[in-house]
Structure 1
Amino acid sequence: MTRIALVISDVDGTLLTKDKTLTDAAKRAAGRLREAGIGFTITSSRPTIGMRFLIEPLAIALPIGAFNGSAIVDPQMNPIEQHLIPVTAAERSIDLLDRFGVDIWLFTHDTWFTRNGHGEYVPHEVRAIRTEPTILDDFAPHVARACKIVGASSDFELLKRCEAELRHVLGAQATAVRSQNYYLDITPPGCDKGTFVAAMARQLGISTDAVATIGDMENDVAMFAMSGLSIAMGNAHDGIKAQAKLVTASNEADGFAKAIDMILQHNAAG
């Protein structure tokens, strides 16, 4: 049994509660990893600007993976590796999301753009990433700098159909996957949370078998597959849980902290 040397956690639905709170239990759990000499970092569909508030309370010293791992930044939010959505794929994504009638957001490295400042999930995103959007009429001037495009809708079944059609239309040009039931993320091709796991393992000179991952959504499955130990949150759907080796409690019941205890027990047993 390989000893875990690095833990990589998803953010929303995993590290944070439903109201986007980082609990004291989560902070203490990250501290237990440091005391055990185990590295810790985070990866998320979030933009870089939406992850900076977690660095200090979690004492993160390693690079983090934004935009589903397609951007890797240091703890000061300086880019280490950054990929963009090809312009043609970005344009096709916007056209298709328009056709489905969902709200569209475009993120660059440091800015969030939307055409609808009163969109249903705009207040939710403002609270989550602690950044206000820039309102515009046309995405065209910014598609060449797109790190992520999001379709947001409370019609979950509609968004699921949109996801399937986007995957068909985009093929290998970009990645389309839901990070929440209400968010469909389009990110650069060839990059996902699994590639972030591999990149971090290379940087630390460890095997991916020595990495543990914690998550709750479809976009976390890629890192589950790449890591030696994977833990699904109790709030994850059964299909996601089936892709992980272990299941912890929900994000409303200190599931992240309990997952850390599972990892420490794993090392103790080895």
Structure 2
Amino acid sequence: MKLLALDIDGTVVNSQHQVTEPVRNALIHAQRERDMRIVLASGRPTSALRHLVEILELKTYGGYLLPYNGGKAIELSSGKVLHAQLLDQDLIPQLYHLIKAHGVSILSYTDEAILSEEADNVYAQKEIDITGMPLCVLDDFLASIQEPLPKCLAVGPTDRLVALEAAVKAQLGHRVDAFRSSDIFLELVPKGVNKGVALERLSAVLGVSLSDLIAIGDNYNDVEMLRLAGTSIAMGNAPEDIQRMATLVTKTNNEDGVAYALEHLLP
């Protein structure tokens, strides 16, 4: 058995956030005929992965979910949460004020909705488009959050997020990890949470050697899993430095790059 760890946005789905028929067919074939177990490793919340579970028949073939960049690990055959790590409650106001000081916006999640203080934010709309989740507008973000969160998402222009990322690492880096999942999204998660750590833990539980781990991704929140995997594949739409660290480079997500990798790059 091999584990096939897949990023979603910019990797499995195209620019229209769709799984094309060639990609779906290649992934079904990989599970059915090549004894691969698929792990969807994404910054998305759990509910924003459910439709992909159905499309790719992951329950049938024994797949796994790593939502929140690995903040949770879910075994789909049983529905069991294998692992969960949350931001400590006292971190939320610290992150909130730091995000606001850099002139960008904060989002977080319930199981069913995206949380924001702004009803009309172009960057939040991008997350709505990607996840398919509705927006829940809060009058007061801090007053409304009464329990630990799996992650916060800072959204805004790239230059402000770069400055915010540096500030978070300088001030809270001992408790929070920060990395960009796109030019307009900065992921803020508990220290030590990333796709690589989650995949290493899952591989150990399943007794799968890291040499039998294949990872495909396209952005900076994929770095740790690409470095971990015995075979790492960068998408053709990935930044050049991501492509350089990978074992192989496939076509773009708009050219069915995942299908191309499975059919032409992997033995």
Please, what TM-score do these two structures have when normalized by structure 2?
Answer: 0.92
- 2:145 corresponds to which residue? 142
Q: Report the count of equivalent residues.
A: 261
Task: Answer yes or no: is the 8 Å Cα contact 1:193–1:219 preserved in 2.
Answer: yes
Residue-by-residue CA offset, 1:148-201 (whole Å, 9 max, x unaligned): 111111x21221121111111111201111111110010112121001211221
Distance 1:30 1:158 in 2: 37
Task: Answer yes or no: is the 8 Å Cα contact 1:108–1:145 preserved in 2.
Answer: no
Distance 1:6 1:137 in 2: 43
- 2:119 corresponds to which residue? 117
Residue 44 of structure 1 aligns with an amino acid whose one-letter code is S
User: Which of these residues, 4, 11, 14, is aligned with residue 11 of structure 2?
Assistant: 14
**Judging changes above 3 Å, is the alpha-carbon distance between structure 1 residues 248 and 229 closer, same or farther for their aligned structure 2 residues?**
same
Question: 1:194 aligned to 2:196?
Answer: yes
- 1:268 corresponds to which residue? none
Please, what TM-score do these two structures have when normalized by structure 1?
Answer: 0.91
- 2:133 corresponds to which residue? 131
User: Which of these residues, 251, 262, 266, is aligned with residue 260 of structure 1?
Assistant: 262
Task: Answer yes or no: is the 8 Å Cα contact 2:176–2:188 preserved in 1.
Answer: yes
Q: CA deviation at 1:263?
A: 5.3
Unaligned runs of 5+ in 1: 266-270
Distance 1:169 1:137 in 2: 27
Residue 145 of structure 2 aligns with an amino acid whose one-letter code is H
Distance 2:263 2:112 in 1: 35
- 1:79 corresponds to which residue? 81
Question: 1:234 aligned to 2:236?
Answer: yes
- 1:56 corresponds to which residue? 54
**Judging changes above 3 Å, is the alpha-carbon distance between structure 1 residues 205 and 78 closer, same or farther for their aligned structure 2 residues?**
closer
Residue 69 of structure 2 aligns with an amino acid whose one-letter code is N
Distance 2:44 2:216 in 1: 16
Unaligned runs of 5+ in 2: none
- 1:28 corresponds to which residue? 25
- 2:39 corresponds to which residue? 41
* 1:176-255 pair list within 5 angstroms: 176-255=178-257
Distance 2:178 2:254 in 1: 28
Distance 2:5 2:238 in 1: 17
**Judging changes above 3 Å, is the alpha-carbon distance between structure 1 residues 23 and 97 closer, same or farther for their aligned structure 2 residues?**
same
Question: 1:163 aligned to 2:159?
Answer: no
**Judging changes above 3 Å, is the alpha-carbon distance between structure 1 residues 187 and 143 closer, same or farther for their aligned structure 2 residues?**
farther
Could you say what secondary structure the match of 2:203 adopts? helix
Task: Answer yes or no: is the 8 Å Cα contact 1:197–1:208 preserved in 2.
Answer: no
